[in-house]
Chains A and B, each alone.
Chain A
């Protein structure tokens, strides 16, 4: 087996291990109370062992891909997002050994699984480096930044557990609405994965020509039925799906189509689950958090920001500035990705100040942690896909 296929097999093993470990953590969470410490120990130990096996396989993927490509596998959206998922698991293992909270695994691992699944929807082949990325700073900057973001993500996981445990889901409140909204957003990501996989299994492909904003003609390949057509689009493929709405040249209708399909699939899956279980998703998850200590979750949420913030600053701002000065001649250029890294940094600075001096503990702090993760994901997904800038490599 060559290096490249060994690498993708290792990633698959890691993916499966994380899924299995999620259920094992579920078992650990259910049995974790004073009476059954032994059974918790058994489930908990098994769960963390499987997680570590998965993580080692995941590291194996990373190293073998590095060897195969000759550069750190963080050079496009698939590679970066996968590395981010892996580092979330790494950060979880780190925090787990400090605080021994199984509920953290129960929520962190599915998020890592979802992120790796999301990553796998993008072109996966190993690509050579374009001139702008040929620098050892690629390795240093991207890996440090991803590590910082991953540790910060654990803060959001702890926040989520805190909120699920402490929000009264029997009363109609704003909090109840928003926590369910967070769940719904996770389902949209599931919707993206399911729709992409479904259409790719069905081998759907259709080509269209269109007129771009500089008034030249291009062709574009859709891998999902075109809900939205590009500007003045004309089908090339026979029997191609006739777009329902044609978009102006400014809008990338192909991306819009895949966003809308994700929302459609996600919503259908979400509604089906709600119909079958006759409960809010947050209500289904709430019992799993009942045995977590709120104080501990609050502390983990804070500690993760404390550990992650300096790493993020170093990777996403300082190393970024040094590299930007070498590659683009200026250390700061207000490129959207830079700006959103700054926004993330400012946001966590606010988080720390509000917590330290305004006493924002508990729910407020937990909500901020969740919002922080949303900003990180916005920078990862939306800024790359929607706002074009120097960083859109994928």
Chain B
């Protein structure tokens, strides 16, 4: 396409609407407008100029604000739909069929529909992520399409603008005011004291301030692009770790996702507010609510194993540090953080039993089963021993005579045990449950008598590493700078020109906050006796003015 040569001699790129230099409208459409569109200074944007190749078409699609807005609105609506029912990660089930059953059981047919449509895991669906990706592309293209021509145009603008440009400004006035060289100087001075950059060219003044606010939108878009890029990086291996672990008191466990760190739980603390110890003003709240949690805390010791040490091999550990993990206070080491997320109180840890004679209740020795690690054989008094044939940590009953355990957690331990004694060297078989014993192979002489139990608390911890955080923080920071730059400052321009026919023209433009630029102009007018101006967009004031002139 051809370049456009303006009457003033400036050569403008194809597609320019307002001459970069003098501001003359360059096409019919612009000439017909009463107020000129100043958004991008009438500069030639690629998307408005070329539409031939496939690249042009893609570029034009993503550079459109309309398309961008539809993408945002789609994301907005989808995000809202995702909050109607809880998402899968808030549902207490892990495998697909349990999740499906959960939605059906709790929410009925609607839950099933929600689950079947994939709305229960909406935010990780391909189409939702696709929308976010499209938004990212739109941010890049729409910004580039605008910022480059805008920059060129603002750089090239001349102090003296053509009258056809000035009269199409929203704030515009012309008249035979008594404006002399002296009053132009006064105007210059006043504008300078109002913190404008003032340029003078013959009888023309251009006063400009806050141009940098025009870059605000592009700076904040850059911040968003960096942020979205950071989020994408998470998918790369090594950048992101998200693991959970259940750590029992006294236990030392490998920290999943780390290379060779181990945590030992020295104890879990659960505290609630008591009326006696708390601030008096909390009394009513404690009375009404009952129990208010005060603290969840796991006291831990952190160890480092040798390089490449694996889970289950807690050997050759070197002590690193002690710490108390509380909610809001994770332990941090080597880019990892471990958070207090969950807990279970009083899980069974050890059970103490006696081998007794059923009739006389005479004891032949005691033994303690560590439920996390039951021994196969417990030697008791001379000639007496107990063999643990099988262990069911979370016993739920018999299915076709076979004992069932629904989980490895010792919620309801049961044991298949053989009791050896001098009378029965081949052993008697007993199935020992809490508060109950079954003798599957006939009447026994001896029994296992439950003595006592030891419990311990379990801490639910989350292990996290996120190397993308600095990038996200940078993106956020740049966004905030850009959004503040664009919102709290504005780009104001005031043009004053003495025309050859003796008339004076004033015009003003701002990208926002018209009241302020008008106030500035009023102050200058007072000193320099400029002609009165009109806000050609302020219909109420225009009406008033007409009313006055008609003498109403």
Footprint of B on A, CB under 8 Å?
A: 3-4, 68-70, 99, 123, 125-128, 130-132, 134-135, 137, 213, 248, 250, 293-296, 299, 302-303, 306-307, 309-310, 313-314, 318, 321, 325-331, 333-334, 336, 339-340, 342-343, 346-347, 349-350, 353-354, 356-358, 383, 387-389
- Cβ–Cβ contact B285 & A357, under 8 A: no
Chain A CB count within 10 A is highest, among B242, B273, B278, B328, for B328
- Cβ–Cβ contact B79 & A295, under 8 A: no
- Cβ–Cβ contact A313 & B328, under 8 A: no
Given contact pairs A302-B512, A329-B242, a sample of 15 additional A-B residue pairs in the complex whose CB atoms are under 8 Å apart: A3-B281, A125-B285, A131-B296, A131-B326, A134-B326, A294-B540, A310-B480, A318-B476, A325-B466, A325-B469, A330-B242, A339-B82, A350-B76, A356-B39, A358-B69
Given that A4-B281, A131-B293 are known contacts, is A309 also in contact with B540, CB under 8 Å in the complex?
A: no
Given that A295-B535, A296-B515, A336-B83 are known contacts, is A343 also in contact with B279, CB under 8 Å in the complex?
A: no
B182 on interface, CB distance cutoff 8 Å: no
In the complex, chain A residues whose CB is within 8 Å of the CB of B226? none
Given that A131-B293, A343-B79 are known contacts, is A293 also in contact with B540, CB under 8 Å in the complex?
A: yes
Chain B 528-540 interface mask (CB, 8 Å, partner A; 1/0): 0000000101111
B508 on interface, CB distance cutoff 8 Å: no
- Give the interface segment out of B161-169, B310-318, B413-421, B482-490: B482-490
Q: Give me the 6 closest cross-chain CB pairs, A-B, nearest first.
A: A127-B285, A125-B284, A131-B327, A329-B339, A336-B83, A295-B538
Inter-chain CA distance A4–B281, complex, in Å, is 7
B483: contacting residue among A131, A132, A310, A346, CB under 8 A: A310
Cβ distance A250 to chain B, nearest Cβ, rounded Å = 6
- Cβ–Cβ contact B278 & A329, under 8 A: no
- Cβ–Cβ contact A313 & B480, under 8 A: yes
Cβ distance B109 to chain A, nearest Cβ, rounded Å = 12
B393 on interface, CB distance cutoff 8 Å: no
Residues 235-287 (chain B) with a chain A CB within 8 angstroms: 242, 273, 278-279, 281-282, 284-286
In the complex, chain B residues whose CB is within 8 Å of the CB of A248? 108
Task: List 16 contacting pairs A-B, 8 Å CB cutoff, sorted by A.
Answer: A69-B281, A123-B285, A134-B328, A250-B106, A293-B541, A295-B535, A296-B515, A303-B512, A309-B487, A310-B484, A329-B462, A331-B469, A331-B472, A343-B80, A346-B75, A357-B65
B289 on interface, CB distance cutoff 8 Å: yes
Given that A294-B539, A339-B80 are known contacts, is A131 also in contact with B289, CB under 8 Å in the complex?
A: no
B364 on interface, CB distance cutoff 8 Å: no
Q: List the B residue with the shortest CB-CB distance to A136.
A: B328
- Cβ–Cβ contact B281 & A132, under 8 A: no
Inter-chain CA distance A130–B79, complex, in Å, is 29
- Cβ–Cβ contact B539 & A128, under 8 A: no
Cβ distance B231 to chain A, nearest Cβ, rounded Å = 9
Inter-chain CA distance A209–B541, complex, in Å, is 65
Interface SS, B side: helix
In the complex, chain B residues whose CB is within 8 Å of the CB of A299? 513-515
Q: List the A residue with the shortest CB-CB distance to B85.
A: A387
- Cβ–Cβ contact B79 & A339, under 8 A: yes
Inter-chain CA distance A328–B330, complex, in Å, is 10
In the complex, chain B residues whose CB is within 8 Å of the CB of A325? 466, 469
Given that A293-B541, A302-B512 are known contacts, is A128 also in contact with B278, CB under 8 Å in the complex?
A: yes
- Cβ–Cβ contact B73 & A350, under 8 A: yes
Q: List the A residue with the shortest CB-CB distance to B81.
A: A339
B328: contacting residue among A310, A326, A342, A357, CB under 8 A: A326
- Cβ–Cβ contact B69 & A353, under 8 A: yes
- Cβ–Cβ contact B79 & A342, under 8 A: yes
In the complex, chain A residues whose CB is within 8 Å of the CB of B87? 334
Residues 66-114 (chain B) with a chain A CB within 8 angstroms: 66, 68-69, 72-73, 75-76, 79-80, 82-84, 86-87, 89-90, 106-108
Q: List the B residue with the shortest CB-CB distance to A361.
A: B537
- Cβ–Cβ contact A328 & B339, under 8 A: yes
In the complex, chain B residues whose CB is within 8 Å of the CB of A353? 65, 68-69, 72
Cβ distance B456 to chain A, nearest Cβ, rounded Å = 21
In the complex, chain A residues whose CB is within 8 Å of the CB of B75? 346
Cβ distance A139 to chain B, nearest Cβ, rounded Å = 13
Cβ distance B237 to chain A, nearest Cβ, rounded Å = 19
Cβ distance B128 to chain A, nearest Cβ, rounded Å = 10
Inter-chain CA distance A231–B328, complex, in Å, is 37
- Cβ–Cβ contact B83 & A131, under 8 A: no
- Cβ–Cβ contact B72 & A346, under 8 A: yes
In the complex, chain A residues whose CB is within 8 Å of the CB of B282? 69, 125-128
- Cβ–Cβ contact A339 & B83, under 8 A: yes
- Cβ–Cβ contact A130 & B292, under 8 A: yes
In the complex, chain A residues whose CB is within 8 Å of the CB of B326? 131, 134
Chain B CB count within 10 A is highest, among A3, A293, A339, A342, for A339
In the complex, chain A residues whose CB is within 8 Å of the CB of B435? none
- Cβ–Cβ contact A131 & B278, under 8 A: no
In the complex, chain B residues whose CB is within 8 Å of the CB of A358? 65-66, 69
- Cβ–Cβ contact B341 & A128, under 8 A: no
Given that A68-B281, A69-B281, A127-B289 are known contacts, is A132 also in contact with B328, CB under 8 Å in the complex?
A: yes
Inter-chain CA distance A302–B285, complex, in Å, is 42
- Cβ–Cβ contact B512 & A306, under 8 A: yes
B83: contacting residue among A69, A306, A330, A340, CB under 8 A: A340
